[in-house]
């Protein structure tokens, strides 16, 4: 996470739109949770900047590193729906700090999430108890469907908005538009392993979808302005929301990460894996589509699932 040098508060894209042009890349071996060589790095690129290479082998957070050095423990915070996420991170050192300071023209530092830091990281308040969410303000994963994006674009006569405006973690193909609003539990099958996911909340959007990811600025108002006419709180069952937002996609957490030992191999999913909806929410009633005893609910199955859904990216 990139933070302000003076107070450790997160620098977000809604305040620094140039972050949209920062391109990180990891070696494939790291993405699959395998042991990485000592020379492996996270490579970060941006227009007009030389590549920044950050070692993947984390520096031990022993507390012995001095301020500004790699490995120094720093207090961090970021805004959430219910206040400020507070915790600790490990500073990635002066080279990374100088790179982001030059690029953003803001005194900045790069920090790494460290669940073993001496000060406990308070998890995002909307995430269920027991889930490790790192430097995020809601859930682990934002899911959205291609059909939902197509529906949004149907309201515009201009060039279609790309999915990167909404910055989901995982995109799916198959369900009708905005059906992800109803999902409460689903599984993703990968090579015989089933990962279980649970719903956190619908995604209320900030200003980021109005930022062109190729030519970022803060002057645009679309698609948010038009989406208020069909995707505001009342349209997704949030008639009494305190902050007026528009909604796209839903946040989920992976149940399988709760009981995973810290030294075990991370789980993997791939493009093309199937997603199977288990329970949905319809008219404020949770419906279990996995139970063969729910015969009276079969009429809902064509409407809400279950059906295999293909992961796109």
The secondary structure of the chain, three-state, reads: CEEECCCCEECCCCCCHHHHHCEEECCHHHHCCCCCCCCCEEEEECCCCCCEEEECCCCCCCCCCCCCCCCCEEEEEEEECCEEEEEEEEECCHHHHHHHHHHHCCCEEEEEECCCCCCCCCCCCCCCCCCCCCCCCCCCEEEEEHHHHHHHHCCCCCCCCCHHHCCCCEEEECCCCCHHHCEEEEEEEECCEEEEEEEEEEEECCCHHHCCCCCCCCCCCCCHHHHCCCCEHHHHCCCCCCCCCEEEEEEEEEHHHCCCCCCCCCCCCCCCCEEEEEEEEECCEEEECCCCCCHHHHHHHHHHCCCEEEECC
20 pLDDT higher than 80:
yes
Which of 10-24, 73-87, 265-279 is least confident? 73-87
153 pLDDT higher than 50:
yes
260 pLDDT higher than 80:
no
Buried b (16+ CB within 10 A) or exposed e, 153-172: eeeeeeeebebebbbbebbb
Give the residue-averaged pLDDT of 228-241. 84
284 pLDDT higher than 50:
no
pLDDT for the residue numbered 290: 45
Give the residue-averaged pLDDT of 175-188. 94
Give the residue-averaged pLDDT of 64-72. 70
Q: Which of 27-36, 55-64, 199-208, 226-235 has the highest mean pLDDT?
A: 226-235
Give yes or no for a contact between 307 and 173, defined as CB atoms under 8 angstroms apart: no
Domain ranges of the chain: 2-113, 141-311
68 or 289, which is more confident: 68
31 or 178, which is more confident: 178
301 pLDDT higher than 50:
no
Name the burial class of residue 179, with classes exposed (0-12), middle (13-18) and buried (19+) by CB atoms within 10 angstroms of its CB. buried
pLDDT for the residue numbered 245: 87
What tokens were used for 85? 């996420």
Give the residue-averaged pLDDT of 75-98. 79
Report the C-alpha gap between 22 and 74 in whole angstroms.
23
- Work out the mean pLDDT of the chain and round it to a whole number: 79
220 pLDDT higher than 80:
yes
pLDDT for the residue numbered 295: 23
Give the residue-averaged pLDDT of 259-280. 76
308 pLDDT higher than 60:
no
Confidence of residue 244 (pLDDT cuts 50, 70, 90): confident
Confidence of residue 306 (pLDDT cuts 50, 70, 90): very low
């Amino acid at each position: 996470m990139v933070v302000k040098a003076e107070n450790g508060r997160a620098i977000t894209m809604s305040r620094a739109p140039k972050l949209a042009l920062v391109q990180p890349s990891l070696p494939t071996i790291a993405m699959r949770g395998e042991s990485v060589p000592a020379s492996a790095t996270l490579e970060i690129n941006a227009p007009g900047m030389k590549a920044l290479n950050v070692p993947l082998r984390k520096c031990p957070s022993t507390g012995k590193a001095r301020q500004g050095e790699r490995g120094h423990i720093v207090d961090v915070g970021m805004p959430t729906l219910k206040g400020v996420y507070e915790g600790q991170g490990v500073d990635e050192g002066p080279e990374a700090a100088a790179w982001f300071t030059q690029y953003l023209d803001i005194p900045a530092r790069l920090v790494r999430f460290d669940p073993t830091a001496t000060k406990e990281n308070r998890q995002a308040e909307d995430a269920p108890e027991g889930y490790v969410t790192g430097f995020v303000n809601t859930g682990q994963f934002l899911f959205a469907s291609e059909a939902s994006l197509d529906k949004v674009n149907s309201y515009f006569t201009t060039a279609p908005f790309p999915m990167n405006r909404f910055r989901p973690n995982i995109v799916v193909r198959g369900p009708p538009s905005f059906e992800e609003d109803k999902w409460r539990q689903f599984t993703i099958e990968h090579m015989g392993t089933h990962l279980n996911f649970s719903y956190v909340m619908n995604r209320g959007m900030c200003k980021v979808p109005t930022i062109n990811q190729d030519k970022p600025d803060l002057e645009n108002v679309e698609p948010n302005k038009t989406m208020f006419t069909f995707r505001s709180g009342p349209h997704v069952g949030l008639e009494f929301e305190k902050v007026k937002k528009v909604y796209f996609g839903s946040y989920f957490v992976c149940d399988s990460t709760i009981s995973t030992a810290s030294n075990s191999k991370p789980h993997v999913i791939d493009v093309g894996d199937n997603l199977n909806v288990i329970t949905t929410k319809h008219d404020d009633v949770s419906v279990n589509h996995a139970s063969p005893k729910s015969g009276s609910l079969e009429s809902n199955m064509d409407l809400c699932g279950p059906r295999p859904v293909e992961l796109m990216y």
